[in-house]
Structure 1
Amino acid sequence: MAGIHLLDIEAAINWWRRRSPSPDGINACAEVQALAEVYALMVYERREEQEEDAMTAEALMAWLDWYASTPDAPCIAICSTSQGDEVCKGCGRSFDEVQHWPRMTPAEKRATWRRITLQGTAWRFNRYAERAAPAPAEPPPRD
């Protein structure tokens, strides 16, 4: 079983802070409090991952609510594993990850997302990035 990375806990805390801001600038919502306890212990114990089954029900539900707001699959509909590649050129997942994605836990999916994002070699991170970038500004016409 994959653990939940510290950065995902942090992202979930920040998502909840935006979603349910503190009414007085001091007290946080219950979801932030539950996740902050997990986060603080991870930092204190210098751990990068937290097992799902070791979290309180409140913290896990808060994390799962954040997780539901994230993109599910990294697929860009160019699957080279269907052509025999062990690692998909489009999304960066292994053949097994592509095949077992529907059965993976949220933490396993996020671990896969983290790995392929850090690697940054799949087409989803480079080949098509230039298409999404704004066009360079045209120089002003010369008189």
Structure 2
Amino acid sequence: METPCVNVCLLDSESGLCAGCGRTLEEIANWSAMSDAERRAVMAVLPARLADLKTAESRPT
């Protein structure tokens, strides 16, 4: 089964997304129970989520 996990498991407190793969905690927990179509749908949105996380990290606080 394909997984986006890159073994960097750190949840971003603001977005609730994993900083490594971009998934939500719910998506991570349910990954093995998801259908192939559901996993593909999640995989399709991960690049944008990760880009948003990087943009948020680079903003001054």
Q: What TM-score do the two structures reach when normalised by structure 2?
A: 0.69
1:89 to 6, 12, 19: 19
Give the Å deviation of 1:94: 0.5
| Residue equivalent to 1:101 | 31
Larger Rg: 1
**Residue of structure 2 in register with 1:72 after alignment:** 2
1:121 aligns with 2:50: yes
- Supply the AA of the counterpart residue of 1:89: A
Aligned equivalent of 1:68: none
What is the number of residues matched between the two proteins?
Answer: 50
SS at structure 1 position matched to 2:50: coil
Equivalent residue letter for 2:42: T
Aligned residues: percent identity? 32
Letter in 2 for 1:74: P
Structure 2 residue aligned with 1:34: none
Unaligned runs of at least 5 residues, structure 2: 55-61
What root-mean-square deviation, in Å, do the aligned CA atoms of Structure 1 and Structure 2 show? 2.3
Structure 1 residues not aligned, in runs of 5+: 1-70, 127-143
2:59 corresponding residue in structure 1: none
Bigger share in strand: 1
